[in-house]
Amino acid sequence: MANLHDVISDLNADGDDVDRMVAGLDAEQWALPTPAPGWTIRHQIAHLSATFRLAGLAASDPAAFKALAARLSDDFDDNVRRAMAEYLADPPETLFDRWRAARVAANKALAAVPADQMVPWLVNPLPPAVLAAAGMMELFGHGQDIADALGIVRERTDRIAHLVAFGVRTRDFGYHAHGLEPPAEEFRFELTAPSGALWTFGPVDATERVTGPAVDFCLLVTRRRHHGDLALVASGEQAQAWLSIAQAYRGPAGQGRTPGQFATAAH
């Protein structure tokens, strides 16, 4: 498992990157549609704000978090809409300030949790480093939607190592989202970092394999690109099928992206 300090530091840096994309936007730009159907840039930041506020509560006041979680309904999408509603009611400048406050508070709360202590979360308790990696997954995915709306090409760094490890850890989420039984066989992942380093996971002799750029892997598991538009190669029937259902988050898969939608776009 990654060092908690390192993950928190990288989580903060990724949050800074998102801040820079939206800090100077005017009201019309906040209302720009993103590739997520029905979601503007305001929706993206509202969702991130609600998610980070929840993570901060889970880390700082587990009892209050559990009480809040107990009041959630079984309708995942409705819970998301309700959590975003109060933020969407804010003018952009207030939303931006609340977003920054939420992520700073969450980072601080997660950093204060002992690395070997579990933090309550929506399905299962998680170590703080893993919950921080989940936060990086949120920033990567929703940040990509914002970048796509603004025509920004994002510069990726080896900070995505935490998200890659999280994506491997959550390989089975795509199966669960589609009501499928995950295969017992482990996959081998061989992914090339932005720096050129090779990151490997799983048995060396596995017959089911996924290889290619680590950035593309992150785009795949956050469902921000269709697998046909990525330079990932799957070997083995199960690995090939997994590319079409991969996701690193719980809940419904969502519409994802269509083939060719970003075929010629930079990441």
pLDDT in tens, the chain (267 residues): 578 889 999 999 999 999 999 999 999 999 999 999 999 999 999 999 999 999 999 999 999 999 999 998 888 888 889 999 999 999 999 999 999 999 999 999 999 999 999 999 988 999 999 999 999 999 999 999 999 999 999 999 999 999 999 999 999 999 999 999 999 999 999 999 999 999 999 999 999 999 999 999 999 999 999 999 999 999 999 999 999 999 999 888 788 899 988 865 444
Residues 6+ apart with CB under 8 A from 170: 221, 247, 248, 249
Rounded Cα distance, 26 and 18, in Å: 16
Amino acid at 156: R
pLDDT at position 263 is 60
Cα dist from 75 to 20, 45, 252, whole Å: 33, 21, 10
User: In the chain, where are the structural domains located?
Assistant: 4-154, 160-243
pLDDT at position 74 is 84
Q: Which CATH superfamily is domain 4-154 in?
A: dinb family like domain (1.20.120.450)
| Residue 212, burial from CB neighbour count under 10 angstroms (0-12, 13-18, 19+) | middle
Contact status, residue 137 vs residue 107, Cβ threshold 8 Å: no
Rounded Cα distance, 62 and 68, in Å: 10
SS (H, E, C) 150-186: HCCCCCCCHHHHHHHHHHHHCCCHHHHHCCCCCCCCC
Nearest to 160 by CA among 192, 126, 206: 192
